[in-house]
Amino acid sequence: MQLTVAKDMESLQEALAGLAKAGKRIALVPTMGALHAGHVSLVKLAKEIVDEAVVTIFVNPKQFGPTEDYGRYPKSPEEDIKKLREAGAALVYVPSADDIYPPGFSTSISVGELGKILEGKSRPGHFDGVATVLTKLFLSILPHMAIFGEKDYQQLCVVQRLAVDLDLPIEIIGAPTMREVDGLAMSSRNVYLSVEERKIAPKLHEVLESVGKVIASRKVSVKSALDQGIAALGKGGFKVDYLELRQAETLAELRDFTPPARLLAAAWLGATRLIDNIVVE
């Protein structure tokens, strides 16, 4: 199927009507653009589990804090379309900020406590912005499924909570994190890293893996394994925001290792904030 690029609500609805008429089941892959192989893996997964992938590209102002990188977030519109065409996406919706938030817009969706811990603590309001835009995209596209990367693990949990709480008839699916060969999780923000920082960056994943192994061995307390990890990251040149072991669904704190568990980290490397997470089993 040829890729349709919809730049406004009317052309989006026209293209969606075409897909519905053809009896296609669709999966939504929301993105902020500057696409890499991680995003492409979600589109490919969509094509495996349903008939067609519908992608959105929207840098959502509401999920950026006042001092964050909204104004300089990387953009590569032509390359994005090329990658989506190659991956076999059927439709990409690229709305403007005014389309999504016209003058007078004032509604906000909040997932409560789940959006206030970890990333939410460092980035107040971030998940309300995420939940608000996703609710709008879900309602205007009404996909059968929506696919999110485990790279943003808390976001995946937030969206799952949102879908359950609002009785959204959309199945939320998590997909594995795509990594560079040296283990660094792919991210649109990796382009911010200097050559020197890029060499250090894989250490975040390395430390997660080693701390995960120590926790799973149950030889030392969770706290002491985490403290060792924080110290290793600090020594490696990171400024650690958090390194925490959490219950995999509720993201409740885990003082003892009780599967299913997730180890999540955020750390600054110079002016760039990196996040990553792994399962601990």
Q: Say which of 39, 126, 144, 205 is annotated catalytic.
A: 39
Separation between Cα atoms, residue 252 and residue 23, nearest integer Å: 41
Q: How far is the CB of 197 from ligand AMP (least distance, A)?
A: 18
Side-by-side strand order, sheet with 145-149: 4-6, 91-93, 52-57, 26-31, 145-149, 171-175
Q: How far is the CB of 107 from ligand AMP (least distance, A)?
A: 21
CB closer to ligand AMP out of 146 and 200: 146
Contacts of 24 (CB under 8 A, 6+ apart): 50, 51, 52, 90
Structure-token pair, residue 156: 């995946």
Q: How far is the CB of 124 from ligand AMP (least distance, A)?
A: 18
Structure-token pair, residue 58: 């929207």
Q: Is the separation of the CB atoms in 133 and 62 below 8 Å? A: yes
CB closer to ligand AMP out of 74 and 236: 74
Separation between Cα atoms, residue 176 and residue 68, nearest integer Å: 26
CB closer to ligand AMP out of 65 and 234: 65
Q: How far is the CB of 173 from ligand AMP (least distance, A)?
A: 10
Residue 144 bears catalytic tag: no
Structure-token pair, residue 166: 């609002």
Q: What is the dihedral of CA 204, 114, 99, 65, to 10 degrees?
A: -60
Q: Is the separation of the CB atoms in 264 and 205 below 8 Å? A: no
Q: How far is the CB of 37 from ligand AMP (least distance, A)?
A: 7
Q: Is the separation of the CB atoms in 129 and 68 below 8 Å? A: no
Q: How far is the CB of 258 from ligand AMP (least distance, A)?
A: 25
Q: What angle do CA 257, 113, 277 make, to 5 degrees?
A: 45
Separation between Cα atoms, residue 171 and residue 164, nearest integer Å: 9
Interacting residue ranges for ligand AMP, rule: CB under 6 A: 31-32, 38-39, 41-42, 148-149, 151-152, 175, 177-178, 185-188
Q: What is the dihedral of CA 267, 268, 273, 279, to 10 degrees?
A: -20
Single-letter amino acid, residue 274: L
CB closer to ligand AMP out of 4 and 188: 188
CB closer to ligand AMP out of 6 and 173: 173
CB closer to ligand AMP out of 4 and 31: 31
Q: Report the catalytic residues.
A: 39
